[in-house]
Structure 1
Amino acid sequence: MLSSEERTEPRVHTVVGRRLGGSYRLLASAALGIVALAILGAVMGPQWDPVPLADPLTVATTSTAIGDAAPVQTYPVRTSVVTVQLDGATVDAQVSEPVGLDGPKRGVVFVHGAGTGRYDTAFLEQAHALAASGIVAMVPNKRLDTYTTRHRDYVLMAADYGASVAALQSFPGVDPDGVGIYAESEGGWIAPIMAAQDPTIAFVVLVSSPVVPPREQAAFAVDSYLRNTGVPHGVFRAIPRAVGMSLPGGGFEYADFDVTPYQRQMAQPVFVVYGTGDASMPTIQGAEQILRDTAIAGNGDVTVRYYEGANHGIRVHGDVDTVFLRDLSGWVLGLPGTGDSAPRIAGAQPEQTYVAAPVPEPRWLGDGDVVLALALAAVALIVLGPLAVLVARAVEEATERVRRQRGTPVTVTGPRFARGVLPSLVALGFGAILTVVALVWYIVAVARLALDYERNDLVVQGGWVAVRVLGVAVVVVGVLLLRRCRRVRSDGGQPSPGIVRTATLWGGVIGSVVLLVVLAYWGVFQLGI
């Protein structure tokens, strides 16, 4: 006869074996689901593999001085506000002019970058420096009734700024043949149009000009910002999928605007300026393309300068670089002699790691409206199902109460989810939503760090790990829900009896799967695939 210990030991091994086997199957199923999501996320959209810049630009000298420029004089400055008539609107413009300088003066009209632009906040230092050196500077307010985030027409904007050029050409004391334009950032897509269409424009100053189409510049800037912030490699996959897709709500036609045809018609002297601390612009590629495009027009009067540590607005420690202001005034006052003065390329040595190139278009989720609709529909399926169950349960309880009040015996309660099914379903659905929310929070947090040129490993590295852990946890919960439903069915039960509960179960599962696929698309489950 076996002892009690001999009879108990096989049972213990059997129970332990079942538990180990169950844990192994759980991990294996979750791993399989994660690998499937990783593969799906990889094949659904383009990867991000920017091409290294293989043609570095070398400056001739570290000095930015304009060779043929005379020493800059200093004059008192007087300002006034004039009204400029546009096509269907008017804008105010501030004119800064030197006091005590006789004779016709050169003039400069400023073209704003992205966003709003007012004369009382934009180009204050540049306009004052030009006026103090003997140049009349006009800063018009940007026309905003035709300028929105979704819709911008650079050709029409060029016509509006052209009205300011005409106004300054007729301003008292200004030489009408000596008026040029100063364009910064987004203005670099507008100024070449003006120069190509109006030969009376005397010169062009391009400061931090993007040169490449807006979509390419945006992808380049995001890549640079993310690298400066130190994000994990897997985050870069989102660049072509976000920048390459059409955004929800339509618009943004200007994202693919190409300024090249207009640059190839610029016959005026051009002063190209970049700061080496500007991570948002292709500083080498931009200058090289302007040199090539103007050469096609037979224009050799191009001067390129790079300023050490200057940012997008050619600012160093918050102030516009005084050396740049000196060079700007000297170059304008010295024209036409300074148009081709040596050296052509000078200043601090610029660096550009990757080429700004066309952005691959997403194959499956390239329509932002579809992506948004999928996400909202998935959330609706997840959220409305439990609400429907609550309503159905309230109706069932009210019915049972009425039956009892009438004396009708209630021998069978209303349908219920099988034990463990509803908690797992709720955890799956709301876990998927939480992961999406965490991903959005992470993107916003990283964007703020990137725009401020800051690094925070806790947010950048730790946040990405947290988002991915949440995603894995949701997959595990999904496997647990599947196993629970299979076990209930094998025991002859129904995981979700009734139409409402069946619809809730399937809606929650489908909605969660859709969100998991969306998360996979944005790289949450990638495994280096």
Structure 2
Amino acid sequence: MRADPDGDNRDVRYRTAAGTVVGAVVLAVLGALMGPQWSPVPLTDPLTVQTSATAITGAVEAGPYPVRASVLTVALDGADVDAQLLMPVGVEGDVPAVVFVHGAGTGKFTDAFLDQARSLAEHGVATLVPDKRLDTYTLRHRDYVEMAGDYLRSVDRLRRVDGVDPARVGVYAESEGAWIAPVMAADEPGIAFVVLASAPVVPPRQQAAFAVDSYLRNTGVPQQVFRAIPRAVGMSLPGGGLDYADFDVAPYQRRMTQPVLVVYGTADASMPVVQGAEQIIRDLAIAGNTQYTVRYYRGADHGIRVDEIVAPAFLDDLSGWVLGLPATGAAYPRIAGDQPSQLYWAGPVPQPRWLGDGDVLLVLVAGAVGLLVLLPAGRLAVVGVQHLRGREPGPGRDRTLTRRLALLSGASVATVVALVWYLVEVARLAVGYERNGWIVQGGWIAVRVLGLVAVYAAAAVVVRLRRLRRAGEPMAHGVLGHVVLWGTCAASAALLVVLAYWGVYQLGI
């Protein structure tokens, strides 16, 4: 009796389809079990402004004064930095002064705080903007306590400038600098006042997760993509470092006794604008400090800019608050400006259970991709050498199995590449506050389709291997053939597990 080829083909198709479904479900379950879910807690305690006007009672108006600029050298421990001093000209008596503390990045006085420093100086407040020290500042290593010590040297230097009142020297810190300024204020109670602009307040890891969540929601990504947040933010950096990611500034804020001006833009999606102000107020209360002023500026971004220009109202309020101290330190209204909105709490980030080690993840992906590229190339090289030496080639490979293995390896690598591309593009759109449905929605569909093709290819390989075994035919020939076969299967399986970890096979579980 002859075998029915149509029946055999139907059986192969059925088994391959069933294997694809089972494989996708298994990967979905595995992906859900491997790492934390992302379920941010809604913020249900909104901070209500007392008035929409940001003007500060008791603020002093002065100037405008001519400004004299000069460059000073600040000696740090093991390094020197240049700093630009702006002095108001024509003011009677010694003036208050401000040292600026940089946010993230490579801050230079030539391009940082230009509007804030100039405006303060024109209103009668001396300003010092030091270059940021970079020899101890990298992505992997940042010591905020050590950095606070460096900036305190700038405070000491400014106190010795003729015409500056050493008892009225304060600090202006923006973004990442707001993790540094409270350390300065706690360690040096003689600092006269503190301005915290766009302060993250929570530890860097929590702030990063909050910012990524906000950016992704603004970009409109599918819900499945959010699972990647704790897995990316909670992962250790390949090569080590990032110890500062869990730095907690709260203990230092609870020792601040100076008047504090807290400033946010309501268009800043990267900061917990409600939670941040609430926590600062609570921390100051623990220190017995009731001298706080909170201001929100409508449409202002992370740099308190509206349409790329520092909000004029903010500049006026800043100088008026500084000049009006100590009366303005606790003046009504305490909380004013545009009503802030924060959807979710910036809470602790769940830690990955399996692939949270960046070194392991990098080695796993790079090793698997390398195997899938090198194994076929190595086999061709060996066969070529044998041909040049006149040796007869070994038994031929099963062509059907070879094609399916090629599809499996190609689809696995292509899905990894597509996922990386997708995440990079989404990050670019998110940082730029842009939307692009073709990339955000279409790109995710493309990644998942490629992932299913890889699962289909894996099922097809399993079906073919079972048929070869039942027919008593070898699955591979020789040591090299077995290395290529099982190396390809193992490397592809590793990539499929990684893809499941990053949510490619989610089924709402």
In the aligned structure 1, how far is the partner of 2:116 from the partner of 2:431? Answer: 24
Residue matched to 1:345 = 335
What is the letter of the counterpart of residue 480 of structure 2? V
- 1:90-239 → structure 2 map (5 Å cutoff): 90-239=80-229
In the alignment, is residue 51 of structure 1 matched against residue 20 of structure 2?
no
In the aligned structure 2, how far is the partner of 1:395 from the partner of 1:483? Answer: 33
CA contact (8 A) 1:26 1:479 kept: yes
Out of 59, 62, 86, the residue aligned to residue 52 of structure 2 is 62
In the aligned structure 2, how far is the partner of 1:214 from the partner of 1:34? Answer: 36
CA contact (8 A) 1:416 1:496 kept: no
In the aligned structure 2, how far is the partner of 1:491 from the partner of 1:147? Answer: 64
Which sections of structure 2, spanning at least 5 residues, go unmatched?
A: none
What is the letter of the counterpart of residue 110 of structure 2? D
Q: Map Cα deviations across residues 465-487 of structure 1 (whole Å, 9 max, x no partner).
A: 00000000011111112222222
What is the letter of the counterpart of residue 29 of structure 1? G
In the alignment, is residue 500 of structure 1 matched against residue 480 of structure 2?
yes
Q: Map Cα deviations across residues 274-313 of structure 1 (whole Å, 9 max, x no partner).
A: 0000000000000000000001101000000000010000
Choose 1 or 2 for highest CA Rg.
1
Residue matched to 1:515 = 495
Residue matched to 1:405 = none
In the aligned structure 2, how far is the partner of 1:72 from the partner of 1:426? Answer: 75
Q: Map Cα deviations across residues 361-387 of structure 1 (whole Å, 9 max, x no partner).
A: 111111111111111221222222112
Out of 449, 452, 471, the residue aligned to residue 432 of structure 2 is 452
TM-aligned CA deviation for residue 188 of structure 1: 0.4
In the aligned structure 2, how far is the partner of 1:337 from the partner of 1:139? Answer: 26
TM-score (normalizing by structure 1): 0.94
What is the letter of the counterpart of residue 55 of structure 1? D
In the alignment, is residue 366 of structure 1 matched against residue 346 of structure 2?
no
In the aligned structure 2, how far is the partner of 1:393 from the partner of 1:19? Answer: 32
In the aligned structure 2, how far is the partner of 1:387 from the partner of 1:415? Answer: 19
In the alignment, is residue 30 of structure 1 matched against residue 10 of structure 2?
no
1:420 partner SS: helix
CA contact (8 A) 1:118 1:142 kept: yes
Q: Map Cα deviations across residues 17-76 of structure 1 (whole Å, 9 max, x no partner).
A: 554444332211100000000000000000000000011110000000001113343111
Q: Map Cα deviations across residues 247-297 of structure 1 (whole Å, 9 max, x no partner).
A: 111000000000001000000000000000000000000000000000110
Residue matched to 2:65 = 75
Residue matched to 2:289 = 299
In the aligned structure 2, how far is the partner of 1:510 from the partner of 1:23? Answer: 24
CA contact (8 A) 2:15 2:463 kept: no
In the aligned structure 1, how far is the partner of 2:382 from the partner of 2:464? Answer: 23
TM-aligned CA deviation for residue 392 of structure 1: 2.2
CA contact (8 A) 1:45 1:521 kept: yes
Q: Map Cα deviations across residues 123-154 of structure 1 (whole Å, 9 max, x no partner).
A: 00000000000000110000001111100000
In the aligned structure 2, how far is the partner of 1:221 from the partner of 1:293? Answer: 23
What is the letter of the counterpart of residue 414 of structure 2? L
In the aligned structure 1, how far is the partner of 2:318 from the partner of 2:395? Answer: 81
In the aligned structure 1, how far is the partner of 2:115 from the partner of 2:215? Answer: 27
Residue matched to 1:3 = none
TM-score (normalizing by structure 2): 0.98
CA contact (8 A) 1:76 1:99 kept: yes
Q: Map Cα deviations across residues 382-428 of structure 1 (whole Å, 9 max, x no partner).
A: 222112211221233234x26xxxxxxx6xx4122112122221221
Q: Map Cα deviations across residues 96-138 of structure 1 (whole Å, 9 max, x no partner).
A: 1111112100000000000100000000000000000000011
Residue matched to 1:7 = none
Out of 230, 235, 238, the residue aligned to residue 248 of structure 1 is 238
Out of 391, 404, 415, the residue aligned to residue 435 of structure 1 is 415
Residue matched to 1:5 = none
What is the letter of the counterpart of residue 179 of structure 1? V
Moved more, 347-356 or 376-385: 376-385
Which sections of structure 1, spanning at least 5 residues, go unmatched?
A: 1-10, 403-409
